[in-house]
Amino acid sequence: MSRSKDQTRYRILDAAYGLFWRQGFLRVSMDDVASRARLTKRTLYQHFRSKDDLMAAALAHSSELAIQRLKFRRPSQPDALIDSFFGELAEWAAKPKWSGGGFTRAVMELADLRGHPARAIARRHKTAVETWLADALGTAGVVSSADRAKEIMLLMEGAMALMLIHGDRHYAGAAAAAAKALVQR
């Protein structure tokens, strides 16, 4: 793919994900994406055959960026690792238009579409985060690190839901405290 095509593709992905994040995956139209990317709808369809393909590509792109960020954040002490993990979640929740985790949100919106490609991307992303967390916990000396990673993922998802429900980002701190108790077992 030429540099110009790559740039256009990334412009589309950035526009799409920004819209999906704020408005929801199902409420955003291809017209909305084309307008936000300042492209014609024809150009949009030259890069993505359908909205479903665009949703999957936007999530895959976001996943790549998120996993790269995680790789650079790996404190060696369990408490510091947990503080970093949940601290970032609290920072996201502090943003005025935060609407929850994009991967979880996509799966919730597409709950009745089991074969949707975006669901597979979200599943791979969550698995990659859990694997990263298990490896980081194991390196930090936490016993049964894969089990603790699963439990911490549950705490993270619950914290996101409760932060959205109550508009209170302190749930991230409560989840971090619970995670620290888990890794002390």
**Percentage of the chain modeled with pLDDT above 90:** 62
Cα–Cα dist 159/170, whole Å = 9
CB atoms closer than 10 angstroms to residue 93: 21
Tell me what pLDDT residue 98 has: 76
Helices 51-72 & 102-109, crossing angle to 10 degrees? Answer: 150
Cα–Cα dist 165/144, whole Å = 32
Q: Which two tokens stand for residue 142?
A: 């936490």
Domains in the chain, CATH or no CATH each? 50-183 (1.10.357.10)
Q: Which of 73, 49, 58, 54 is nearest to 129 (CA)?
A: 73
Could you report the per-residue pLDDT of 87-131, keeping only the tens digit for each? Answer: 988 988 888 777 778 888 888 888 888 888 889 999 999 999 999
Q: Which of 93, 107, 92 is nearest to 55 (CA)?
A: 107
- Specify the DSSP class assigned to residue 99: -
Tell me what pLDDT residue 2 has: 66
The answer, yes or no, to whether residue 1 has pLDDT greater than 70, is no
- Longest Cα pair distance anywhere in the chain, in angstroms? 57
The answer, yes or no, to whether residue 148 has pLDDT greater than 80, is yes
For residue 57, name the pLDDT band (cuts at 50, 70, 90): very high
- Residue in the block written with tokens 């993270």: 156
CB atoms closer than 10 angstroms to residue 37: 22
On average, the pLDDT of the chain sits at 90
Cα–Cα dist 144/66, whole Å = 25
Least confident interval from 126-130, 131-135, 165-169: 165-169
Tell me what pLDDT residue 131 has: 96
Average pLDDT over residues 59-63: 91
- Residue in the block written with tokens 């998120």: 66
Tell me what pLDDT residue 93 has: 84
